[in-house]
Chains A and B, each alone.
Chain A
Amino acid sequence: DAKTTQPPSMDCAEGRAANLPCNHSTISGNEYVYWYRQIHSQGPQYIIHGLKNNETNEMASLIITEDRKSSTLILPHATLRDTAVYYCIVRVARPWETSGSRLTFGEGTQLTVNP
């Protein structure tokens, strides 16, 4: 699975949009981009994933560049509760396999939302 690169930390003002970048320049055509977040001392939480089209759900939006070498997770109106470590993960989705998800978590980006 492709390796990802994220900035170690970012700050955002409460109420503003938080834009978290992720580089995955070696991504293959059949690899998805997943985002998770982990609030301190809790288990990670799934946020969103996508292949090549932009995706949006109730938590966030995922923007993937046309060449798929980078993506941005957008939290449209960040709150203090969004302070967490955000993980960008690239993984092949092979539903016909039985090898499981095997998501590989790097060190992520520590997002701090300030009042």
Chain B
Amino acid sequence: DGGITQSPKYLFRKEGQNVTLSCEQNLNHDAMYWYRQDPGQGLRLIYYSQIVNDFQKGDIAEGYSVSREKKESFPLTVTSAQKNPTAFYLCASDRVGTGELFFGEGSRLTVL
């Protein structure tokens, strides 16, 4: 079945460590997105990518980095520069311009 796979589902990290969250899709979508969600809040856009080898900053990109070397993959690195990294991270994809996003199940990051 087509869909988006995020891993790991739960991740713990010590302060000062970088962590990478994986996002893979087999929907043949061109566009991919990373959102962050804090408890009781809506989603905020971190980065998005329209095409391989290109990506754009969203509203809260500081402390995060991404790459888009393959159409199917859009990993997110949470760097030590991100001051409040504990959050629920959601990856999504769609055909460019449709607005019909497909989301993964999310990765919950906790900084100890």
Interface of B is mostly: strand
Q: Which of A91, A98, A100 has the most chain B CB atoms closer than 10 A to its own CB?
A: A100
Interface residues on B, range: 20 to 34
Decide yes or no whether B21 CB sits under 8 A from chain A: no
Q: Tell me if A30 counts as interface (CB < 8 A to partner B).
A: no
- Known A44-B43, A105-B42, A108-B42: A100·B33 in contact at CB below 8 Å: yes
- By size class, the interface of chain A is 20 to 34
Q: Does B64 contact A (CB under 8 A)?
A: no
CB pair A44–B101 under 8 Å, yes or no, is yes
Closest to A106 in B: B42
**Complex interface bits, A26-38 against B, C-beta within 8 A gives 1, otherwise 0:** 0000001010100
B99 touches A49 (CB 8 A): yes
State A45–B100 Cα separation when bound (angstroms). 9
Pick 30 A–B contacts, CB within 8 A, sort by A.
A34-B99, A42-B106, A43-B90, A43-B106, A44-B43, A45-B103, A46-B101, A49-B100, A93-B98, A93-B99, A95-B97, A96-B97, A98-B50, A98-B51, A98-B96, A99-B56, A100-B48, A100-B96, A100-B97, A101-B33, A101-B98, A101-B101, A102-B48, A103-B99, A105-B35, A105-B42, A105-B43, A106-B42, A107-B41, A108-B42
